[in-house]
Amino acid sequence: MLKTSTIDIETTINSGQVFLWNKIKDHWIGIDGQDLLILNQSPFIARSSSNKVNNFFREEDNLKQILSNISRDKLVEKAVRQSPGLRLMRQDPFQCYISFICSSNSSIQNIKLMLENLCKKFGNKQEFDGYKLSTFPKAEILANASMKELIDCRLGFRAKYVKGAAQAVNSGEIDFTWLKKADYHTSLESLKKVLGIGNKIADCIMLFSLDKMESFPIDRWTQRILLKYYKKIFDTVTEKPVTEKKYEELHENIVKYFGPYAGYAQQFLFKMERDLNKKKWL
């Protein structure tokens, strides 16, 4: 048995990685692809409706080594001290992919709403532990959904991206098993061919579902963090939007500085800065 008790479920869920989770009394229930998951903090219990908890919290990572590695940076060290139980989750790739396409120019609350609508309309109803929830829709279903149905889910301009992205998966053009094995840059280029996916969204998908731990999503918050605390180290960052070219050279320097587990560093820093600004989570 792993030392899972060091995982802080609430902190982890409320760190912007996942959207389809709800707290009911003292435990959390969430949707991960075709599975429903129930998590309880103490005693620590993680159960899946499919009876396989797919190392959802990346239990096989050598956390001690990773944390000590990224904590060479003093601010990361502080962020880790602040949320020692924060973990990266390994999500269902298709759900993660659609989720972050929906995240474009939207808020966490709104993203959650869109995804819940998709589940209700296109998912399969499932009962687990007395809870009735719809799973996340399969690629084939979304690929064949009508634009009206997608618009009705309040996706807005993202509706066409979601449909196209689902079609890419359904046709085999995007193959998550293959992307998991591919290296960071191959995977990145492949994902960016899908309309609606740029560097930031690709990084989120790769970090949260494709085991690319050097992914370091740079969004408004991360940019703010780099500008506020790392102006000296990453001197190309300004308050202006990060262009594609800048994003890529910035990423290279970030990996040089934070190391191959830069994604972990990003997650702790992101959590710290959002909490500091009292931003709402789920």
Partner DNA sequence: TCATCACCTGGAGA
Partner DNA sequence: ATCTCCAGGTGAT
Using CB under 7 A as the criterion, which residues of the chain lie in contact with DNA when the complex forms? 15-17, 100, 103-110, 113, 151, 154-158, 192, 194-202, 204, 217, 219-221, 240-241, 243-246, 270, 279
The total number of residues shown for the chain amounts to: 282
Question: 168: which DSSP letter?
Answer: H
Q: In the complex, what is the shortest distance from the CB of residue 17 to DNA, in angstroms, rounded to a whole number?
A: 6
Considering beta carbons, is residue 138 or 160 the nearer one to DNA? 160
Considering beta carbons, is residue 132 or 240 the nearer one to DNA? 240
What's the rounded Cα separation, in Å, for the pair 77 and 84?
10
Considering beta carbons, is residue 50 or 151 the nearer one to DNA? 151
Considering beta carbons, is residue 139 or 218 the nearer one to DNA? 218
Considering beta carbons, is residue 49 or 207 the nearer one to DNA? 207
For the chain, helix (H) and strand (E) counts, in that order, are 14, 6
Q: In the complex, what is the shortest distance from the CB of residue 270 to DNA, in angstroms, rounded to a whole number?
A: 7
Per DSSP, the residues of 26-44 read TEEEEEETTEEEEEETTTT
Residue 221's alpha-carbon distances to 16, 53, 162, 227, in angstroms, are 11, 31, 24, 10
Q: In the complex, what is the shortest distance from the CB of residue 256 to DNA, in angstroms, rounded to a whole number?
A: 19
Considering beta carbons, is residue 184 or 270 the nearer one to DNA? 270
- Helices 63-70 and 74-82 sit at what angle, rounded to 10 degrees? 130
Q: In the complex, what is the shortest distance from the CB of residue 252 to DNA, in angstroms, rounded to a whole number?
A: 14
Give the containing element (helix H, strand E) for 132. strand 131-134
CB–CB of 8/80 below 8 Å? no
Position 208, amino acid? F
Considering beta carbons, is residue 194 or 269 the nearer one to DNA? 194
Q: In the complex, what is the shortest distance from the CB of residue 267 to DNA, in angstroms, rounded to a whole number?
A: 9
Q: In the complex, what is the shortest distance from the CB of residue 206 to DNA, in angstroms, rounded to a whole number?
A: 11
What's the rounded Cα separation, in Å, for the pair 241 and 139?
32
Question: 107: which DSSP letter?
Answer: -
Helix (H/G/I), strand (E/B), else coil: 274: helix
Q: In the complex, what is the shortest distance from the CB of residue 9 to DNA, in angstroms, rounded to a whole number?
A: 16
C-beta atoms surrounding 113 within 10 Å: 16
